[in-house]
Amino acid sequence: MTERVAIVTGAARGIGLGIATRLAGDGYPVALVDADEAAVTAAAGELAKTGARTIAIAANVTVTDDVENAVSRVAAELGAPTIMVNNAGITRDNLLAKMSDDDWDSVIAVHLRGPFLFCRAVQGYMREAQWGRIVNMSSIGARGNRGQANYSTVKAGIQGFTKALAFELGPFNVTANAVGPGFVETDMTRRTAERLGMSFDDFVKRAADSTPVRRVGQPADIASAVSYLVRDESSFVSGQVLYVSGGPVG
């Protein structure tokens, strides 16, 4: 398993850190990539204490040079990256009438340009290895959500991107799938509560009450799904969207 090296973006905290922690626990060397250099360095340092092979890379996922340099560094220091988890994300919520150009452009860039750049950079290593796993982060927000025209657009778009990759890279034994989290307790959902003027506890309770399993998600729930999708056992699963949301998504 050691030759199957993973890259996780947005890995300094929240879902990304949960995924990196799980993959490291599964035995994969993991590169943690994040725009927050101090936070990602600290996160990788904590993982290293568990005996994991890991490196921290500060990079802007929307900048071509940053992405290509990050992937080259992973290949040089850990080995050819054949597991790619595109998790980096931001929110810039607002009603359409109040949404600025930057609110739109920044969300589009991080959620769509970022995965495009990373997948383009790693696909050569996967094709050479004749094995690869790509997992892109979507969301139940892909169905549409008030005040999130930008976010809903990218989360729906990433599903189409994932399906296209499944067609293109399948002949090289590379699968591409998307994971669509429901409500997960993270800094991002905490900021959403603040935007809505609610206490986070009330926000969590409302989400749990509307979820069939009567709880909200944790980063470990999403990490478990990713762990399955990058295994050999999932080799016949490609081009799919796995919603991890505590109930059916219509």
Q: 125, 151, 228, 243: which one is catalytic?
A: 151
Q: How far is CA 127 from CA 93, 171, 195, in A?
A: 38, 9, 44
Does the active-site annotation cover 151? yes
d(CA 58, CA 11): 10
Catalytic sites, residue numbers: 151
